[in-house]
Amino acid sequence: MDTAQHGYIGRKDDYLKRLRRIEGQARGLQRMVDDEAYCIDILTQLSAMTKALQAVGLGLLEEHMNHCVMHAAQESSAAGHEKIDEAMAAITRLVKS
């Protein structure tokens, strides 16, 4: 198991708070569908939830770049390139979602 501290640890509570808020949004969406709310209202809330998830993802990506990638690049060029490739794959997944 990796025992290195991750870059987001300093803001872990903030991320957890945001994710709990998003979880609440998901429950709200379920209630809206169950209550047969107007389609556009559901889509509006879905869009807000998507933006919130994207914000968490971008925050984690920034933390990763500033901590994990930077640390690996300081260790060695090969490790730095490996972390950059890993970050680029994550960015690609975020952009596709």
Domain that holds residue 20: 10-96
Average pLDDT taken over every residue of the chain: 91
d(CA 85, CA 60): 16
Q: Is residue 43 part of a domain?
A: yes
Q: Is residue 5 part of a domain?
A: no
Per-residue pLDDT at 4: 62
> What CATH number corresponds to the domain at position 66?
1.20.58.1000
Number of separate domains in the chain: 1
Q: What digits encode the pLDDT tens for the residues 56-90?
A: 999 999 999 999 899 999 999 999 899 999 999 99
The closest of 55, 78, 74 to 66, measured between CA atoms, is 74
Q: Is residue 24 part of a domain?
A: yes
Site of tokens 């709990």 = 20
